[in-house]
């Protein structure tokens, strides 16, 4: 919308804040869900694999939290 010259509807920058917030929140929830899925997937194979995947998932989540 913003890159089209002569866009027929008037809008301000604040009109796009709600979709931007919604997109960021759903993106973060998706990353957390994926990290949780990776962490729990090893437990179906064996106890050792479960421990390793849980450690990897926890480290991934910790790194992502530090980045945000």
Contacts 24+ apart (CB under 8 A), 30-35: 31/64, 32/61, 32/64, 35/60, 35/61, 35/64
pLDDT (0 to 100) of residue 54: 92
pLDDT digits (tens, 9 = 90+) for 11-66: 666 777 888 899 999 998 998 898 888 888 888 889 999 999 999 988 988 888 89
Question: Global pTM?
Answer: 0.65
- Using the predicted structure, report yes or no on whether residue 1 has a pLDDT greater than 60: no
Label residue 5 by pLDDT band (50, 70, 90): low
């Amino acid at each position: 919308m913003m890159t089209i010259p002569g866009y027929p509807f008037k809008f301000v920058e604040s009109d796009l804040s709600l979709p931007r917030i919604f997109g960021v929140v759903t993106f973060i929830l998706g990353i957390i869900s994926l990290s949780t899925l990776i962490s729990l997937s090893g437990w179906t194979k064996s106890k050792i694999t479960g421990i390793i995947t849980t450690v990897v998932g926890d480290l991934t989540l910790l790194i992502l939290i530090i980045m945000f």
